[in-house]
Structure 1
């Protein structure tokens, strides 16, 4: 959509909203389109496209036909949009409900639903239903969706388009092409599942997203109709957990303490509770471990990351999966390198953190004219309910620069009724840097939630049920009921999505950390670092807790490192109070969502190439600059404080990511992959 089309659609919308009788196509062509050159057929096609675009933004274009005349006669057919057409009902929330709602919206940081959640929050802000709320330090969960496949499947599910992908069948171990109708997505047992109608098999099937071996292809020209009463949570409730199996893994002596701790004790592995004993060397000089597991692909991803330090011995499907991942990573690392070039100005994020509590926008996809029109439709009602805000505050609320906001405002003030007088235009003033609006032309209420926006908020609220701090019957239940009523039919479609459990695994450490944060007490920590393969003890000043799915992190000032650090709760071996007050050396980070690392000036800037399946990693690691590549891939420039683990990163992602610069890191990853593959040559 070009900028001129954005302005035309806005004027068309205003014209159709502000007519009771309706406007004929000829009137719209003359007064809104000012079209004198195209044929009737060409104009008709353009008008139909524009009507479809307005419907996509939530406005129902009504067709009114004069009595006694056929509806196919343009001269007797009129068009209008009702003033209450698809408008968001008034929603009034208490401060406690707003807190819960913000937590639910911020669950979706690394996903397309993060953008939808932000838009939904803006609509509530624009309607005046959202008040300022302070997020609790101890409850800041997030959901980590399953990569780009999740994004593509959510889009296809809501658009009701079939999809195809290659899938590693668990029963046969073979890769197969699947053509399915996606009905729902959900997380259970730490895995994301797709429930879909498999066209080739003529029946419903479950697909683990970790077993997809190709990008998802959406068949945008085809449609399907899902079951009317489909509920993803109910489908997952009947899913049996995978049985526990045992894998034989050979490990370099004295290495991979974390894997040794999980291994079964006994003479075969030589591991004990302290994981300090080792078995006798195998023929290759390594230690044989018996490692329990449930999902082959999950363990294979971990073992592939270890490269030459670990070798899968059995079962055969595990060996095959590890080898496949290492081979794919090695092939990608050896492929021709594309030109490395980034845009001069980083693209703004589609859902910047600045729109929630204060923080800097993250780089993401380039903004489009569709984004601009959607934003302007939220901007007008927001200004109506927030008169006199400073222009910089308005820009921050919408996660854009002042220049972008002023470009929006200049389009708005030139928009209005067709051939109207100056009083028939949108009237917005910002001469003194405080934005006021005195004429809104019936754009003063935001449109209803889209299905993506309803899914993002309602699924987020459902996910929060797993937190003990948000008991049922409280603000969580009341805000859910209010949003269900506001979302209408779109809210019912949220049943097609089900989030993961976000309750912490190490609840004792979480409670100790939460109490220390509340009382401002210093803690003594014994922590296992998988990167260094060591256990260290240190004193920390706890600042706040947050999570990715059910993996919880403690952000703290570390006195040993003399800086902010993030500690995974499941890697904390001991945590106790020192009885000393925490210092005020460093406050917690000012923005949320919290980054998993704090960038510094001496970090290494790394250029990573990502395939289409791996593009989500750019957001996950807070890329500072990105550039699109042919075929849907991406170049990403990312800062890393430590680079020793990057060969493991490349191996773990099995051919979806590689290091391009610096060359010494790219060479180190190729060496790591070659050494890992050498273990499987036999």
Structure 2
């Protein structure tokens, strides 16, 4: 959508909002569309597309006809937009409720719904002034969805389009093509599930996203109607947990301490002994794909012995990684400016949505510095000024100067004095309602929030404000975010509050060793139900992130925290913090693996014709990159530096050789 169409849609919206009786097509063509060439047929098609876009943005375009006349007659049909039906009701929030809303919106920080959550938050800020709140110590959960497939499925589900993908069937162990009407997405047992109607099986089915072996294709020309009042959380509550199974794994002597600690005692019942230099372990698991991903990352240090399903899963990942590493290398060129965050390009639709949020936000927050406004909307100052330039040229068709939006930013402070009935934010979209309401439901897993009244009260307020769109939030269910070891979390949280040191014994899988450290804890945060704490490590003399489930011993050492540091880069915490002296690695990602650019905070990306990406990522420790490539089984490969690419390929070839490949 070119900039001229952005301006045209904005002017059309203002015209339809500010007419009491409605405007005919001929009147709109002479005013809003006067600069558009073409015949009546092309104008009619353009007008219908624009009406559809306005409805997509949340505005109901009403059709009004003279008594006794048909809507098919353009001369007697008028159009308007009601001033109340499309607006978000005013929502008054207490400081405690704002705290809960902020946490719920930031759950989706790096997910597809992150943009929708940020948009919903800005709409609330425009209808109820944001109160200064302090986020509670140790309550910074986040949701980590299952990569690009999650994004595509959410988009298809909300637009009610079927999808197709290749799926590794658990019953046959073979790839099968599926066409599915997606009804809901939810997390259970540490896995994301899609529930929907399988058109090939002609029955409802569940699909684990970890078993998708291709990118998701959205069938945008088809539609379906989901069951009324479908609730994915209720559906998954009836889903039985996978049975606990045992795998036989040969592990190189002295290696993989973490896997050894999880192994069962004894090796009774083994009919064959491992090769020299290896130990045979019995490891319990529920999901063969999850264990296969882990074993593939260990390369030649671990080999699956049984069952055959596990051997096939590991071999398939290694073979896919080897094939991708051997594929022709694309031309390496980065045309995009360095950027962080979601790799999706901003579109003109994003710009128009932003401008529709910008006007009510400025009305309720007069005099903010222009840089503060830009940061609130996640854009550069230059992008914001481009938005403002379009806004001040928009208004009623052929109106007087007072009929234009009046926005000024003298001395870098922004004021708006004429809003043309755009002073109230548009109602929540389905995506925005789902992002906030699913986030609030996910926070129920945190006792310190669930026990208070703010979580329940703000959920009721948002359900009322969201209306029909809020009812569709039942199509999403987040993971359980409560920590597995509450005692350890409480101990770290207390140390953060009291600014005291802790002594810990910690297992580092990358270094494959156990170490003792004295640390100054700074904050706690989580990804799904995996909790971390950020701390100044006196051994490493720098900030480090520690997983709570890898802490083997933890106790106060009696000393106060001595490092005069604050948590790194504000909220939310970054799991991977690049440094200037890190190695810059150029990787190629398939369409399925593009989410890794976000997970590892790529500094530059460039799109490839097949939907994949080139990405530049900083890595402090490059020794584990072969494990990284093997783990993701054909979704990522190293291109530069060349020696790291060669090491990864040799690692994978050695791994395949242990399986006879």
Q: Provide the C-alpha distance between the structure 2 equivalents of 1:202 and 1:81, rounded to a whole number of angstroms.
A: 42
Equivalent residue in structure 2 for 1:424, among 381, 403, 413: 403
1:111-130 deviation line (CA, Å, top 9, x unaligned): 11011101100111122343
Picking from 473, 489, 503, the partner of 1:510 is: 489
**TM superposition shift of 1:669:** 0.5
Determine which of 458, 462, 478 is the counterpart of 2:437: 458
Partner of 2:518: 539
C-alpha separation in 2, matches of 1:620 and 1:36? 44
CA offsets, 1:434-459, max 9 Å, x none?
11100000000111111111111000
Number of matched residues?
A: 661
Query: Residue 306 of structure 2 corresponds to which residue in structure 1?
Result: 314
Equivalent pair of 2:156/2:163 in contact (CA under 8 Å): yes
Correspondence 1:448 to 2:437: no
User: Structure 1 residues 344 and 220 mapped into 2: Cα distance closer, same or farther (>3 Å)?
Assistant: closer
- Judged with a 3 Å threshold, the aligned counterparts in structure 2 of structure 1 residues 589 and 269 are, in CA distance, closer, same or farther, namely farther
Displacement after TM superposition at 1:415 (Å): 0.3
Q: Which residue of 2 aligns with 1:175?
A: 175
**Range moving further from structure 2, 33-42 or 521-530:** 33-42
Q: Aligned residue for 2:78?
A: 78
- Is the CA contact 1:252–1:287 (under 8 Å) kept in the aligned structure 2? yes
Where does 1:17-32 land on structure 2 (aligned, <5 Å)?
17-32=17-32
Task: Give the whole-Å Cα distance in 1 for the aligned partners of 2:148 and 2:542.
Answer: 33
Query: Is 1:287 matched up with 2:279?
Result: yes
2:335 to 343, 347, 351: 343
CA distance in 1, matches of 2:369, 2:274: 70
> In 2, are the aligned partners of 1:123 and 1:378 still within 8 Å (CA)?
yes
Structure 1 gap ranges (5+): 271-278, 348-360
1:386-401 aligned at under 5 Å gives the runs: 386-401=365-380
User: Given the alignment of the two structures, is residue 102 of structure 1 paired with residue 86 of structure 2, yes or no?
Assistant: no
TM-score, normalisation: structure 2 = 0.98
Measured after TM superposition, the shift of residue 601 of structure 1 is 1.2
Is the Cα contact below 8 Å between 1:363 and 1:625 reproduced in 2?
no
Within the candidate set 642, 655, 659, 1:676 is matched to 655
User: Residues 152 and 216 of structure 1 are in contact (CA less than 8 Å); yes or no, is this contact kept in structure 2?
Assistant: yes
- Choose from 354, 357, 360 the match for 1:375: 354
Alpha-carbon offset, residue 281 of structure 1: 6.3
1:563 has 2:542 as partner: yes
CA shift for structure 1 position 156: 0.7
Q: Could you tell me which residue of structure 2 aligns to residue 91 of structure 1? A: 91
How far apart are residue 131 of structure 1 and its match?
2.1
Structure 1 residues 229 and 363, CA gap change in structure 2 (3 angstroms): closer
In structure 2, the partner of 1:221 is 221
CA contact 1:153–1:216 (8 Å) conserved in 2: yes
Moved more, 312-321 or 32-41: 32-41
Structure 1 residue 95: Cα displacement: 0.6
Unaligned runs of 5+ in 2: none
Q: 1:268, 1:290 within 8 Å by CA — same for their partners in 2?
A: no
The match for 1:251 is: 251
**Do the aligned partners of 2:162 and 2:224 also contact (CA within 8 Å) in 1?**
yes
Residue matched to 2:234: 234
Matched residue, 2:588:
609
Instruction: Give the Cα separation in 1 of the matches to 2:537 and 2:35.
Output: 67
Give yes or no for contact 2:504–2:554 (8 Å, CA) kept in 1.
yes
Displacement of 1:217: 0.8
Deviation at 1:49, TM superposition (A): 0.4
2:324 corresponds, among 313, 322, 332, to: 332
Q: Which residue of 1 aligns with 2:478?
A: 499
CA displacement, residues 590-632 of structure 1 (integer Å, 9 cap, x when unaligned): 3222111322110011111110101111111111111111121
Computed over aligned residues only, the root mean square deviation of the Cα atoms, in angstroms, reads: 1.5
Which residue is equivalent to 1:276?
Answer: none
**Does the CA contact (< 8 Å) of 1:196 and 1:206 recur in 2?**
yes
Equivalent pair of 1:269/1:290 in contact (CA under 8 Å) = no
The within-5 A match list for 1:475-494 is 475-494=454-473
Shift of 1:472: 4.2
Offset at 1:344? 5.0
Aligned to 1:541, what secondary structure does the other structure show? strand
Is 2:93–2:128's contact at 8 Å kept on the other side of the alignment?
Answer: no
**3-state SS of 1:51 partner:** helix
Out of 578-587 and 640-649, give the one that drifted further. Answer: 578-587
Residues of 2 paired with 1:72 and 1:35: CA distance?
25
CA contact (8 A) 2:129 2:364 kept: no
CA distance in structure 2 between the aligned counterparts of 1:17 and 1:485, rounded to whole angstroms: 24
Partner of 1:522: 501
Displacement, 1:171?
Answer: 1.1
In 2, Cα distance between equivalents of 1:140 and 1:17: 41
Deviations 1:45-66 (CA, angstroms, capped at 9, x unpaired): 0000000000000011111111
Secondary structure of the residue aligned to 2:448 is coil
Question: Equivalent residue of 1:631, what SS?
Answer: coil
Distance (Å, rounded) in 2 between the aligned partners of 1:593 and 1:287: 42
**CA distance, structure 1, for counterparts of residue 305 and residue 22 of structure 2:** 74
* Equivalent residue in structure 2 for 1:436, among 394, 401, 415: 415
Residues 380-405 of structure 1, C-alpha deviations (whole Å, 9 max, x = no match): 00000001111111111111111111
- Normalising by structure 1, report the TM-score: 0.95
Distance 2:208 2:51 in 1: 39
Residues 1:36 and 1:317: Cα distance change in structure 2 (over 3 Å): closer
- Residue 343 of structure 1 deviates from its aligned partner by 2.1
By how many angstroms is 1:208 displaced?
A: 0.6
**CA displacement 1:180-237 (0-9 Å, x = unmatched):** 1110010111111111111111111111111111111110000010100211111011
Per-residue deviation at 1:252?
0.5
Mapped contact 2:110–2:341 kept (Cα < 8 A): no
